[in-house]
């Protein structure tokens, strides 16, 4: 497969953003759990920006690489090794499990917003510094790819993790509100959640589920960037 230098740069920047975002996501879980009384992640060295303790061979390496070489233009998606959480340390395990779960997707949406802010700053700098606009083509391309990846990938990660499918964060959040009968059903399907996700991924259903909300959220952020840069 022939890959242009621009495509290679896009792949490398996208993967770097994905890895960084996954690490932030897992740290958010660990910090939320610690705040609620569970020091397990801290004690096991999992509250760290070093990506190595968070690497999952399938979710952090195999799946992103397959998506990079895929002929279909899809945003990168993946997952890291889950941060260990001991719910027995929580005062209210069901409620606090939901809070810890929600911290991960929230961190991704915050990163997407920060990506939009950075995009605005970069475009305004290049807009108002004539020498940069005239001679900074390669650096501007890099920053455009970086900021766009921050927005798109984190929107996808946030939406993906909110799906109510085990072991994703959304199922823990939903579990908080389910009646006991439906909660028992959710517990019963937990061992099969990974296979459900793989099936949804390979059939393309997962992409179709994520696509519309991603377009709304990411599209809104890109529109905001364009409006602010035009006005300023």
Question: What amino acid positions are annotated as catalytic residues?
Answer: 26
Cis geometry, peptide bond prior to residue 167 (ω within 30 degrees of 0): yes
Tokens 């499918």 map to which residue? 165
CA–centroid distance for 97 within its chain = 19
CB 209 within 8 A of CB 201: no
Q: What is the CA radius of gyration of the chain?
A: 19
Its sign, for the CA torsion 228, 103, 83, 178, is negative
How far apart are alpha carbons 69 and 86 in whole angstroms? Answer: 38
How far apart are alpha carbons 44 and 41 in whole angstroms? Answer: 5
Q: Nearest 5 degrees, angle CA 7-CA 13-CA 19? A: 135
H or E stretch at 140: helix 137-161
Q: Tell me the CA distances in angstroms from 196 to 75, 185, 200, 203, one per residue in order.
A: 20, 15, 6, 11
């Amino acid at each position: 497969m022939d890959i242009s230098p621009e495509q290679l740069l896009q792949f490398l920047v996208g993967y770097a953003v994905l890895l960084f975002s996954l690490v932030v996501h897992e740290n958010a879980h660990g910090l939320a759990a610690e705040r609620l009384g569970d020091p397990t992640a801290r004690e096991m060295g999992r509250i760290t920006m070093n990506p190595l303790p968070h690497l999952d061979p399938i979710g952090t390496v195999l799946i992103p690489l397959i998506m990079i070489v895929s002929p279909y233009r899809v945003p990168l998606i993946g997952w890291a090794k889950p941060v260990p959480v001991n719910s027995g340390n929580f005062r209210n395990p069901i409620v606090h499990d939901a809070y810890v779960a929600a911290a991960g997707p929230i961190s991704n949406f915050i990163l997407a917003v920060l990506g939009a802010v950075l995009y605005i700053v970069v475009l305004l700098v290049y807009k108002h510094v004539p020498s940069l606009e005239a001679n900074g083509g390669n650096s501007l391309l890099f920053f455009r790819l970086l900021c766009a990846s921050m927005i798109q990938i984190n929107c996808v990660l946030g939406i993906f993790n909110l799906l109510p499918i085990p072991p994703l964060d959304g199922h823990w959040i939903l579990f908080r509100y389910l009646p006991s009968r439906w909660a028992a059903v959710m517990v019963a399907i937990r061992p099969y959640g990974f296979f459900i996700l793989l099936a949804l991924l390979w059939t393309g259903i997962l992409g179709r589920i994520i696509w519309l909300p991603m377009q709304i959220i990411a599209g809104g952020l890109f529109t905001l960037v364009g409006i602010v840069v035009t006005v300023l």
